[in-house]
Amino acid sequence: MLIVLPLVLQQVNDYWMHIVIMIGIFSILSMSLNVIIGYAGQFALGHAAFYGIGAYSAALLMIHFQVSFWIALPAAAVIAGFFGFLLGTPVIRLRGDYLGIVTLGFGEIVRLIFVNWVDVTRGPMGLPGIPAPTVFGYTFSGKMEFYYLILALALLTFFVIHRIVHSGVGLSLLTIREDETLAQSVGIRPNKYKLLAFTVGGFFAGIAGAFWASYISFVSPDAFRYLDSVNILAMVILGGSASLPGSVLGAVILVLAPELLRYMSDYRMMLLGLAIVLMMIFKPTGFWGEKHRKYNFYGMVRKGEGK
């Protein structure tokens, strides 16, 4: 269905293609944040920073070093993952609110660097002219190509993160979320797994960023504000933390809703806020929350143990 979808949408107009591509980007972002928040239980608030680092890394590599998109994409992901690791190193000692504050600060620092390091980032003017990806001399031009690219990237992200969280590593991540002290007395090193979560989270956010840069062909600090971090966080919470399909669903809802409600102009944000509040009251585990994951886990455990 996802493969034929663009053929239908293209008949309508490019606008809908764009929306669907944005859903793809935000699906990757919310899935990557879910590793940090949903599975490792670390309340991080600066996810747009990794998205931005990925976008700027890819943009700078492609503009100044004429690197092809196919190299810039993994490079940007590695750079963003490295920053996840860097941020993780000091902040894994913090818990709860303090972690939130520091990661929020990190997000702002990164954005301010984009704004003020004019020599490299051109500040608020942004970096225009980022080349589109090419395959054997053919340059991506329409939305259709980008759609299939983001579909492939989102599926890759889903698959890799799914494998990570449903392995022994995933189980260890969950123990840290549940009870860090107890995890330690079992012999688990919480810091090792928290760092891993930040690195993986940063890595995949970097992929989304690199795609965005090449897709829009222009990056500026405006796309990576605090509000965007909160938006990604809302997707994770709304969809259901510790649930990958939930993250995708959250991205679908929160990208679509503001568009569908566009005719209501300013009231749409109020409605969205109201929806989130209602969500918290009536369905705190999200639309596609924990329950689903647990059944998966029972299955896995049963398999490992044998009857």
Partner 1 sequence: MTSGGQAILEIKDLSVNYGVIAAVKQMNLHIQPGEIVALIGTNGSGKTSALRSISGLNKSIQGQIRFEGQEITKLEPHQIVERGISQVPEGRGVFPDLSVLENLKLGAYVRKDKPGVAADIQSMFELFPRLEERRKQLAGTMSGGEQQMLAIARALMARPKLLLLDEPSMGLAPLIVKEIFAAIRKVNEEGVSVLLVEQNATMALAAAHRGYVMETGSIVVEGEAAELRNNDVVKSVYLGIG
Tell me how far apart the alpha carbons of residues 5 and 22 are, in angstroms, rounded to a whole number: 15
Does an H or E element contain 39, and which? none
Candidate ranges 30-38, 83-91, 145-153, 293-301; the one touching partner 1 (CB under 8 A): 293-301
Q: Does 303 bind partner 1 (CB under 8 A)?
A: no
Q: Considering beta carbons, is residue 111 or 293 the nearer one to partner 1?
A: 293
Q: Which of 77, 92, 102, 174 binds partner 1 (CB under 8 A)?
A: 174
Contacts of 70 (CB under 8 A, 6+ apart): 133
Q: What is the 3-state secondary structure (H, E, C) of 106-151?
A: HHHHHHHHHHHCHHHHCHHHCEECCCCCEECCEECCCHHHHHHHHH
In whole angstroms, the minimum distance from the beta carbon of 296 to partner 1 comes to 12
Q: Which listed range, 25-33, 110-118, 166-174, 228-236, lies at the site for partner 1 (CB under 8 A)? A: 166-174
CB 214 within 8 A of CB 141: no
Closest CB to partner 1 among 57 and 241? Answer: 241
Binding mask 272-291 for partner 1 (x = CB under 8 A): ------------------x-
Q: Is there binding between residue 178 and partner 1 (CB under 8 A)?
A: yes
Q: How far apart are CA 92 and CA 33, in angstroms?
A: 16
Radius of gyration of the chain from its Cα atoms, rounded to whole angstroms: 19
Residue choice 184, 257, 261, 268 for contact with partner 1 (CB under 8 A): 184
Regarding 298 and contact with partner 1 (CB under 8 A), the answer is yes
275: left (phi over 0), alpha (psi -120 to 50) or beta: alpha
Of 14, 179, 222, 259, the one binding partner 1 (CB under 8 A) is 179
Residues that bind partner 1 (CB under 8 A): 171-172, 174-175, 178-179, 181-182, 184-189, 290, 294, 297-298, 301-302, 304-306
